[in-house]
Amino acid sequence: MPVNASSYRTAAVFAAGLTLLCWSMGPAAAADAPKAATLTVAIDGTTFQPAMLTVKAGDSVTWVNKDPFPHTVTSAAGGFDSREIAPGKSWKYTAAKKGEFTYVCIFHPTMSATLKVE
């Protein structure tokens, strides 16, 4: 079959279109992939902010102690324990286990919050 200029041009346009399509689908496909997030809980004024945080399993949570004295992030059920977080320091936990975890500060038992892992 003889290749004429018109069909050659059609093929070239098709190839260019395919390249563009693949290129445009790339970032979207990457965004759809499950990606672990890192969320932050501030410890400020002897409170956990927010007091209720919901994350996906695999996400990480960083507690940042903004108070001038130490705190802890201690799960009542024993799921996790930061031990002492010094003033200005933080503690990162990767929430692998699903469930609803109530936690307190062992120094200030009135400090209570919940981490929900879905």
Tell me how far, at minimum, the Cβ of 71 lies from Cu ion, in Å. 3
Distances (CA, A) of 80 to 33, 59, 73, 94: 28, 14, 8, 10
Q: Which is nearer to Cu ion, 41 or 105 (CB)?
A: 105
**Chain position carrying tokens 């903004």:** 66
Q: Which is nearer to Cu ion, 42 or 57 (CB)?
A: 42
Q: What number of chain residues touch Cu ion (CB under 5 A)? A: 4
The alpha-carbon radius of gyration of the chain (Å, integer) is 25
d(Cα 35, Cα 76) in Å, to the nearest integer? 28
Q: Which stretch binds Cu ion (CB under 5 A): 3-11, 54-62, 80-88, 101-109?
A: 101-109
48 lies in the binding site for Cu ion (CB under 5 A): no
d(Cα 59, Cα 54) in Å, to the nearest integer? 10
Contact residue for Cu ion among 71, 74, 85, 91 (CB under 5 A): 71
Residues making contact with Cu ion (CB under 5 A): 71, 105, 107-108
